[in-house]
Chain A
Amino acid sequence: MKNETKILNTYIDNVCKGIRDRKIKNEIKDELLSHLLEVYDKNIALGMTDENAQKDAVAHMGDSEAVSKTFKQIYPVSSANFFQETGKMFAWGLIYCMLIMYKGQIGILLLISYLFLTLNRIKSINKVLNTAHKAAKVNIILFLIFLFTYNNIIISKNIVIGISIFFNALTTIIYIITIIGLVKVRKELGEEKTYSGLGLAAIISIALCFTMVSLQLFIKQELLLIALCIIFSLLPAGLMYTISAEDIDRLGTGVPQEKKFKFSYKKFILFFSLSIFGIYLLFTSNIFTFYQPIEYKIGDEQNDVNEIKDNLIELGLPENVANELPESEIAKYKNATELQVDLLPEDTYSESYYTSYNFTLHKDDNSYIVRTLMVIEKFEDFKEKYYTEFFVDCYKYNSSDVFCKFLCDYDGVTKELLPIKSEPIEDNDWKDLHYVFPNTRNAKKHRVYISMTVKLTPTTDTKNYFFRHRYAQTRLDNINDPYEKYWTRYDDRLSCSIVNPFYIDTEDNNDIGFEALFEILENLPEDENLNLSELESTMEEALGQDIDSELLENIVNQITDEVSNP
């Protein structure tokens, strides 16, 4: 049919060539063709030749240039359409990004849906955007595949950055296309409109910058700056959204207005209400801390020592300690997600002190590493050689795979320490592991970094594994001297982590309960009978938390045996 009506199609193409909006263009083409074919059919019925019938139909329509000009007056070339779409995408994209931070997956789904809808609108504007929208949709689908096939679907700040960069890149591309389009249609628009269009483009570019900066600032938690950036980016985006395209053009040219702006108050109120709601979510929800541990759960490892150090400080490691840690020590904590800090009680006598930091590190194979960083500092000027002993009680429950290893970093040298007595750890038993590491420095102030790694892997038995540090002490003399004479003993129990391989909650302080129990049973008068339920309630009252009765009974039996048969 197309070849047969070549004259008609040529006429229609000439009429529609100045119309930019693809959707409108196609509609007008269909409408004109429908009309021309009716006249053409009538002419054919009257006996005209094909060519004459077409020519006559076209002649009835009038000069194509004149008709085209009239259509262009109704559908003028507007740079504002592009800006408006860009502005809308920014505005809604920003809101959805906030939702992602608050309600990760819901926000992402909303954002993806919005992107699809927006892209559908954009594709009709011109051919280039039509192609771009297909590429963008493929991009989105690939992103979704990545998101939902990855092991953990929990959203990390990296993914949010990724989304925002993707989003910003998409709108930047549209924006650049707009600039190119403006220059191209300069003749049609006229110089004045082109320059004003470029002025609008400059406003949008500023909005772009503020949006990207604000998203980066979310990470650094610069709240005041975030607020400012949101305002600066949302305002122009909001204006773009609520003002009509013709009004944007008129704003740009400064042409006196014949009629008032078509300003939609409803849209304006809706947009800014949602923006304020998004800002409210941002500042009232705990989203900053929400992010911190999640990044590591998806196996995102940091390799930069400074990044690891910053993370340790954020987790609670004192900055002065972090800054003095050797790099080799810092690198071990690259997967740290939680930190438990144990300090000496104030009333403990000490010539030196230690601080223990227990990190729980999660590996993506669902095993856990508990790493203890012990910082021992001496403030005395010891002239004699001294060494440090470290006692660990390790409890192996039900054939768990427990691996204990002591590594000592001393002056940048890492050394593995072997226990004095190398004995296998029996099931369901506490085993004392006694480590001694010599310190040969005579420095007044000295730090030893001891890290102990316990690797726990899940078994079919979901019982807890736990270990504890009993105490650490420093001896001033060699190991053969009677220790009572020189020991500076710190009996403070270091808290340890109960690591349940299936949960990461280390607030369960049953380890403290067991240490207390050990203490109680050790000091129990021989003739006193042990009342389990009374013991349980006493411990619960003292500790302020529930104790697992069955586990308690189990431990009591074993400790009782140990106490009775040392």
Chain B
Amino acid sequence: MKISKELSKGSTGMLVLSVLSRNEMYGYQIIKTVELMSENVFQMNEGTLYPILHALEKEEYLTSRWVESEENGRKRKYYKITDKGIKELASQKKEWETYSSAVGKVLTGELITV
């Protein structure tokens, strides 16, 4: 099922932080990890990932380093979450949980009228 851009737009940053909170990764790897973990629900435009990564790094939620690949000798830029990023992730997660819980209640809960 394809998710609309508007719906996924706001959560992409949170997803990236979440993935990186478990392991250091490079861009292509992040995309594939998110796809796999979401069972292909989230298939982000690869072009939008890198600006997000740069924005997160500028906010000091991530740090990066270049590593030479052992497979083909090419350099890859690996990203790693910072302590500040972990705090931000926790905050966004809480916000998301509150939001999704509220949405769920409205969608599936009993009707309560004024």
Interface residues of A (CB under 8 A from B): 15, 27-28, 30-32, 34-35, 37-39, 41, 60-64, 66-67, 70-71, 73-75
How long is the Cα–Cα vector from A241 to B93 in the complex, in angstroms?
Answer: 38
- Shortest beta-carbon distance from B30 to chain A in Å: 10
Contact A71 B54 (CB under 8 A): yes
When each residue 31-57 of chain B gets 1 if its CB lies under 8 Å from chain A and 0 otherwise, what string results? 000000000000001111011001100
Contact A61 B51 (CB under 8 A): no
Contact A31 B46 (CB under 8 A): no
Q: Which residues between 51 and 86 of chain B lie within 8 Å of chain A, taking CB atoms?
A: 51, 54-55, 58, 66, 72, 74-77
Q: Which B residues touch A38, using CB under 8 A?
A: 28
Tell me if B13 is interfacial: C-beta within 8 Å of chain A: no
Contact B27 A61 (CB under 8 A): no
10 closest Cβ contacts across the A-B interface?
A62-B47, A70-B51, A61-B47, A67-B47, A62-B45, A38-B28, A31-B77, A61-B46, A74-B55, A60-B46
Q: Which B residues touch A63, using CB under 8 A?
A: 47
When the two chains form the complex, which single residue of B45, B72, B75 contacts A61, counting CB atoms closer than 8 Å? B45
Q: Which B residues touch A41, using CB under 8 A?
A: 72
A-B contact pairs, 29 of them (CB 8 A): A28-B54, A30-B66, A31-B27, A31-B50, A32-B50, A34-B26, A34-B27, A34-B28, A34-B77, A35-B28, A35-B46, A39-B28, A41-B72, A60-B45, A60-B46, A60-B47, A61-B46, A61-B47, A62-B45, A62-B48, A67-B47, A67-B48, A70-B47, A70-B48, A71-B50, A73-B51, A74-B51, A74-B58, A75-B54
How long is the Cα–Cα vector from A75 to B46 in the complex, in angstroms?
Answer: 19
- Shortest beta-carbon distance from B24 to chain A in Å: 15
How long is the Cα–Cα vector from A64 to B50 in the complex, in angstroms?
Answer: 12
Interface residues of B (CB under 8 A from A): 26-28, 45-48, 50-51, 54-55, 58, 66, 72, 74-77
How long is the Cα–Cα vector from A74 to B13 in the complex, in angstroms?
Answer: 14
When the two chains form the complex, which single residue of B55, B58, B75 contacts A34, counting CB atoms closer than 8 Å? B75
Q: Which residue of A lies closest to B44 (CB)?
A: A62
Q: Which B residues touch A32, using CB under 8 A?
A: 50
Beyond known contacts A34-B26, A60-B47: 18 more, CB 8 A cutoff: A28-B50, A30-B66, A32-B50, A34-B27, A34-B28, A34-B76, A35-B28, A35-B50, A39-B28, A61-B47, A62-B45, A62-B46, A62-B48, A66-B47, A67-B47, A70-B48, A70-B51, A71-B54
Q: Which A residues touch B45, using CB under 8 A?
A: 60-62
How long is the Cα–Cα vector from A32 to B53 in the complex, in angstroms?
Answer: 12
- Shortest beta-carbon distance from B60 to chain A in Å: 12
Q: Which residue of A lies closest to B56 (CB)?
A: A74
Q: Which residue of B lies closest to A57 (CB)?
A: B46
Contact A37 B74 (CB under 8 A): yes
Contact B48 A30 (CB under 8 A): no
Q: Which B residues touch A66, using CB under 8 A?
A: 47
- Shortest beta-carbon distance from B98 to chain A in Å: 23
Q: Which B residues touch A64, using CB under 8 A?
A: 47
Q: Which B residues touch A37, using CB under 8 A?
A: 74
Q: Which A residues touch B51, using CB under 8 A?
A: 67, 70-71, 73-74
How long is the Cα–Cα vector from A60 to B46 in the complex, in angstroms?
Answer: 6
- Of the listed residues B45, B50, B55, the one surrounded by the most CB atoms of chain A closer than 10 A to its CB is B50
Q: Which residue of A lies closest to B72 (CB)?
A: A41
Q: Which A residues touch B75, using CB under 8 A?
A: 30, 34
- Of the listed residues B26, B46, B55, B66, the one surrounded by the most CB atoms of chain A closer than 10 A to its CB is B46
- Shortest beta-carbon distance from A521 to chain B in Å: 88
- Of the listed residues A31, A61, A62, A70, the one surrounded by the most CB atoms of chain B closer than 10 A to its CB is A31
